[in-house]
Amino acid sequence: MEVIEKVLPNGWKKFIVKNDFGISISALDYGGIITEINVPDRRGTVENVVLSYKNYEDYIEDPNYFGALIGRVAGRVDGSFFHLNGETYVLDSNDGDNSLHGGNQGFHKKIWNAAPFQMTGAAGVEFTVEIPDLEGGYPGSLSVKITYELTNQNQFSINYQAVSDQDTAVTLTNHSYFNLSGNVKRTVRDHKIKINSNHYVELDENLIPTGEIKSNESTPFDLNRESTLQTGIESSHQQIQLAGRGFDHYFIFNETEEENLSLKDEKSGRALRVHTNQPGMVLYTGNNLNSDHLLETGPAQKHSGLCLETQASPASLHHGGFPSVFLKANEPYEKKTTFTFATI
């Protein structure tokens, strides 16, 4: 195990974490952005399985949030406001009338304090930042620590910790786009996915939750049995069409000791399993990606990658019955998502 630290020409720091079995993770102190997750295929060929820009400058104004840490609240907040303790808090509107992924100064824009670490069988980087009261419109000063850790069991874990001095709203995630083909050889349409979930959240035409939690049964959202993404993407289901011919939906996980989801690319033989203590996940299939976005491997295209955004639901700010993003003052926020890489 080792961690290599580099200073880029623009002053950002880049950290490369390697294990003893050919897997490496590269991340920036800017936005905590993951630029590479290099994983061997069934033949031992090591390639990058997340989307990354060819030019680092493209991360500064990135509509896709490639690889970034997302907060204070991941996802879209309807109308850019919420009520808490008798007060109305008005948020940054950066997605039409709505607030997306923490607003204009979200976690993806921060230069994080970054400290690499190594221990027996594991290594990584600890990112910390202090967020002032009312930044982006959210109440409370928020202390945040997020740890990226890679082990010799080929597991990559993201540990999210935060505490606020006031009641507030928090749900954190990472916005990496996975493509297990390696170096974006193909789209993710042929990837096979299984999600341990019986319910998804219905969206309106602005991709805002309607307040309805729907059963997956007999819909393209029933991914309890392994299914090829293309099957869902090509569906005529109204929810698939309004999201831009793909998924951009929150799945509520079933309560189980089993993995929350699995992903496979049969051509490369790469497989990914995800375990988390988050209550659900947004599956986004890169419906808005296009050739204007120049990746390290060339122009992007629709469905070049998919996001597995484990988090609670911002719909809880306006509707009952959703996994809540509210956090009490001085109550620790502690969430963890682990990605386990393997071959088939």
How many other CB atoms sit within 10 Å of the CB of residue 313?
A: 24
Angstrom distance (rounded) from CA 138 to CA 120: 39
Amino acid occupying residue 86: G
Q: Are 113 and 128 in contact (CB under 8 A)?
A: yes
| 259 catalytic per annotation | no
Angstrom distance (rounded) from CA 305 to CA 182: 11
For the CA atoms of 314, 315, 321, 324, the dihedral, rounded to the nearest 10 degrees, stands at 10
Return the residue matching tokens 């945040």: 144
Q: Which of 177, 124, 121, 165 is nearest to 146 (CA)?
A: 124
C-alpha distances (whole Å) from 117 to each of 102, 122, 149, 331 are 28, 9, 9, 27
Bridging pattern class, strands 34-40 and 46-48: antiparallel
Amino acid occupying residue 167: D
Q: Which of 260, 216, 265 is nearest to 239 (CA)?
A: 216
Among 47, 135, 149, 309, which one carries the catalytic annotation? 309
| 175 catalytic per annotation | yes
Among 36, 101, 149, 175, which one carries the catalytic annotation? 175
- Write the burial class of residue 47 (CB in 10 Å: 0-12 exposed, 13-18 middle, 19+ buried): buried
Q: For 226-267, give the DSSP string.
A: -EEHHHHHT---HHHHHTTSS-EEEEEEP--SS-SEEEEETT
Give catalytic residue positions.
175, 309
